Amino acid sequence: MTGSVLLTRRTSLFVLGGAGALALPGTAMAKPQVGSPAPTFSGVGSDGKSYKLADYRGRTVVLEWTNHECPYVGKHYRSGNMQALQHDAAAKGFVWLSVISSMPDSQGHVGAAEANDLTKARNAAPAAVILDPDGVIGRAYDARVTPHMFIIDPRGTLVYMGGIDSIRSTSLGDVTKATPYVRDAMQQLADGKPVAQPVTQAYGCTIKYKPTA
Amino acid sequence: MNVLLSKVAFRAATSLLATALCPLAAIAETSSAPVVTERTRATLVVGADAAAPGAPIAVALRLQLKPGWHTYWRNPGDSGEPAVVTLRVGEREYKGPDMWPVPERIDLAGIVSYGYHGDVFLPTRVVAPAGVVPGATLPIEAKATWLVCEKVCVPEHGRFTVSLPMAVDVPATTSGSPFNPEPLQPLPAQFSKTAGGWNLRVPAASADAGGAIVAAYFFPERGDLIDHSAPQSLDRSGSGIVLGMDAAPAMAEAPSELRGILAITQQRADGTRQTRYFRIAAQP
């Protein structure tokens, strides 16, 4: 009940604020919901190409919000967990897009060349790294932390959102102890099954969004 | 240092008059050697210069953070993680912290975390072994991990030993200092599940003393119940107040009890405002 009152309030803000309100923090837009169409987006990759969600109809898409200087991201790259998931996604025919929403001059912000160097240096295997310094894609997905993970099925429906795994820590040793939510979800989707735990709690570093006032 | 100390005294005074009457400088302190980083000076501290065998002791991880840096509450909100302390006292091991001071709401471009700036005391209650002889020294050992964030986040850790003299006739540790915070006053409340989240209802009789309520905010102990970054709505149209909270994305099953800290800001007759903090264990 309260939720709908708040929504109404937000909606009116949105209408009154016009285009400027598009950038209101997270809550200004309808929050993405598992089972509903995933927010559409288009963005520019570190390879200079443009990427649109609509281009991937018929394929499963995994979105990974990242910030290479965040210790939670570091845990999953230094352990090799993230790269393994990316290779696993590619082997399953899924499209893995890493998204960087850090604003300029903030932690994790990189230009195209540095993003490509990071991919190479870490032996990462995303299909593309999308640069989102204005936070438009991040806000649309209500991504809050790095890493924050989303999976979209071939029909464009959001089928997973949340954490990469179950243990909120920066310790490498916890990777093998955790329930691997994203790994499990990808396997279930590859097997043609519904995702057993479609919404989990994300953990990590706050995404360094551009202020929206 | 003086600035930090007076900030602590001020914070404690907001919830406890006794602290305001008893300057912090008067509280005895036994401290470990510090672990110092570019961001943090960390120590293990006891708010006493001795303890009696068999007596309870509050042992705090003290994090003195450089301006701009913060660390986290037991429920860190939408990012970060709480400090973890493992204490060894004689043969016993304790997990802490178990007494968390009232957190701040930290909003970074719309993403909300709960935590602390400045001079942070995170105490754990332990018991001095009964068999230790008065006159001897009790070593209290701890290992701790904590996360500090400013524009970047850095995990930090340390090992500490504080040596506490054992004595007879030691006055019981007074509560109400940052080393051993006074429990918050409880406020009766009920909660219910709504279509989009949770309502927390506080009856008029308990909520209204102290002036008209102009703002309220609930810090839930559990991290999987509410959307921390969403605004909380305050409804004062009925008797008492109803605080509406959006559900966490991964909406959990209703707990048997909704526990947390309620901040209530009231406007006094003279127009000034004060915020008070209450312990909530709301029933369905």
Do B249 and A199 count as a contact with CB atoms less than 8 A apart?
yes
Mean pLDDT of chain B: 87
Looking at residue B239, its pLDDT comes to 82
Residue B173 lies in a domain: no
Q: d(Cα B93, Cα B162) in Å, to the nearest integer?
A: 15
Q: d(Cα A22, Cα B100) in Å, to the nearest integer?
A: 38
Using an 8 Å CB-CB cutoff, list chain A residues near B246: 2-3, 6
> Which of B135, B165, B195 is a domain's end point?
B165
Per-residue confidence band for B207, with pLDDT thresholds at 50, 70 and 90: low
Q: Cα A133 vs. chain centroid, distance in angstroms?
A: 14
| Residue given tokens 């991919």 in the structure block | A119
Q: In A60-87, which positions are buried (b, 16+ CB within 10 angstroms) versus exposed (e)?
A: bbbbbbbbbbbbbbbbbbebebbbebbe
Contact (Cβ atoms closer than 8 angstroms) between residue B40 and residue B65: yes
Q: Which tokens belong to B223?
A: 């991290």
Domain count, chain B: 2
Instruction: Please give, rounded to a whole number of angstroms, the shortest distance from the CA of A123 to a CA of chain B.
Output: 24
The total number of residues written for chain A in this structure: 213
Chain A residues at the B interface, defined by Cβ less than 8 Å, are 1-7, 24-27, 31, 69-72, 106-107, 142, 144-145, 161-162, 168-170, 199-201, 203-212
Containing domain of residue B194, as a range? 185-282
The total number of residues written for chain B in this structure: 284
pLDDT at B180 over 90: no
Nearest to B197 among A3, A145, A161 (CB): A3
pLDDT at A205 over 60: yes
Spell out the domain ranges in chain A: 1-30, 32-206
3-state secondary structure of A179: coil
Same domain, B190 and B161: no
Do A5 and B233 count as a contact with CB atoms less than 8 A apart?
yes
Read off the pLDDT of residues B186-198 as tens digits, 9 standing for 90 and up: 999 999 999 899 9
Q: Looking at the complex, does the CB of residue B229 fall below 8 Å from at least one CB of chain A?
A: yes
Same domain, B32 and B124: yes
Using an 8 Å CB-CB cutoff, list chain A residues near B80: 205-206
3-state secondary structure of B65: strand
Per-residue confidence band for B168, with pLDDT thresholds at 50, 70 and 90: confident
Same domain, B155 and B225: no
pLDDT at B22 over 60: no
Nearest to A201 among B147, B194, B224 (CB): B224
Question: Under CATH, which number does the domain A32-206 receive?
Answer: 3.40.30.10
Exposed, middle or buried: residue B134 (CB in 10 Å: 0-12, 13-18, 19+)? middle
Read off the pLDDT of residues B95-106 as tens digits, 9 standing for 90 and up: 999 999 999 999
Q: Which residue has the higher pLDDT, A195 or B7?
A: A195
User: What's the Cα-to-Cα distance from A113 to each of A109, A128, B251, rounded to whole Å?
Assistant: 12, 13, 40
Per-residue confidence band for B48, with pLDDT thresholds at 50, 70 and 90: confident
Q: In B94-133, which positions are buried (b, 16+ CB within 10 angstroms) versus exposed (e)?
A: bebbebbbbbbebebbbbbbbbbbbbbbbbbbbebeeebe
Average pLDDT over residues A60-85: 97
Residue B113 lies in a domain: yes
Same domain, B11 and B151: yes
Q: d(Cα B14, Cα B16) in Å, to the nearest integer?
A: 6
Interface test with A, best of B70, B153, B218, B229 (most A CBs within 10 A): B153
Contact (Cβ atoms closer than 8 angstroms) between residue B5 and residue B266: no
Residue B266 sits in a domain of what CATH number?
2.60.40
Using an 8 Å CB-CB cutoff, list chain B residues near A143: none
Same domain, B11 and B63: yes
Contact (Cβ atoms closer than 8 angstroms) between residue B279 and residue B17: no
pLDDT at A14 over 60: no
Residue B178 lies in a domain: no
Task: Report ipTM for this prediction.
Answer: 0.82
